[in-house]
Structure 1
């Protein structure tokens, strides 16, 4: 298994929180830019239990910080209007990749909701609660972490809402 022994900020955060989890590593194809779909194909999990981590730019008077994180199933798309509403913002748009990378400390395709450089407000799609386990990025391309949705939500201090189409 590639890189499975090298700890990432995400795996260190889980170890610190003493959260039961399983790492799943696979060989990432550098030419593949569909990271979530690649993980589904490589690991054989349903696209409903594999989640992608998206960094979103928020606008509006009630916004504490201009950036926030959405965690949605690979099988769905982020509903920007629903996400803005869930975060108390007027408007939401996808953050530029370089902005997302600077804020989280991770590269696009390996952005984890765990162990981010700067703790950003996070909302996990409520469909996660329908599953015993979910998978999120382990902090680099080709590494996923399997854990209970309630553990992820607790460790990162996330809220939940229906934010995926």
Structure 2
């Protein structure tokens, strides 16, 4: 597995400290983030999933713990919008340049507004996708906010 992805290159260019973790990706897993947490032996709330959505028709990125579900009402409110919907997988892949199961919030083809679930801020470090299936980056939540110019908000149900 290559450890050089657009996501890791982005983080290096930003001067953000991170560590890599690999796991055996299961393409048949119903919940990819939960499967990653189990494969790495990490509590699911520390493994964040990257979700692509739209708010009032505009693309956004939501980063939430893998054991949580996004509230569309809260997601829309976090971006000052009225309605939110999950992006179709093919649209998410086209927009980000990553494959589903390997979508990272870092190094996406098109930069979109991003929100981090505030529950992630209780941890010193969290895992999130490193830009390919089976690769995670471990980093501080504050660094996620800084690298993505993101906001933190309560967006889970």
Instruction: Name the TM-score, length of structure 2 as normaliser.
Output: 0.96
| Number of the residue aligned with 1:103 | 95
Aligned length: 157
Match of 1:49 among 31, 46, 55: 46
The Cα of 1:124 is off from its aligned counterpart by 0.3
Cα distance in 2 for partners of 1:157, 1:20 equals: 16
The Cα of 1:127 is off from its aligned counterpart by 0.7
Match of 1:32 among 29, 32, 36: 29
The Cα of 1:35 is off from its aligned counterpart by 1.1
Cα distance in 1 for partners of 2:23, 2:122 equals: 26
Mapped pair 1:71 → 2:68: no
Q: Is the 8 A contact 2:38 2:44 kept in 1?
A: no
Cα distance in 1 for partners of 2:19, 2:135 equals: 10
Runs of 4+ in 1 over 2 A off after TM superposition: 29-34
Match of 1:119 among 98, 104, 111: 111
Please report the RMSD computed on the Cα atoms of aligned residues, expressed in angstroms: 1.1
| Number of the residue aligned with 2:133 | 141
The Cα of 1:135 is off from its aligned counterpart by 0.8
1:39-59 alpha-carbon deviations (Å, 9 max, x no partner): 111111111111000000111
The Cα of 1:33 is off from its aligned counterpart by 4.0
1:91-149 alpha-carbon deviations (Å, 9 max, x no partner): 00100001111111111111101111100100000111111001110011111110000
Match of 2:142 among 145, 150, 158: 150
The Cα of 1:164 is off from its aligned counterpart by 1.1
Instruction: Name the TM-score, length of structure 1 as normaliser.
Output: 0.91
| Number of the residue aligned with 1:131 | 123
| Number of the residue aligned with 1:13 | 10
Cα distance in 2 for partners of 1:141, 1:97 equals: 15
Give structure 2 stretches of 5+ with no counterpart. none
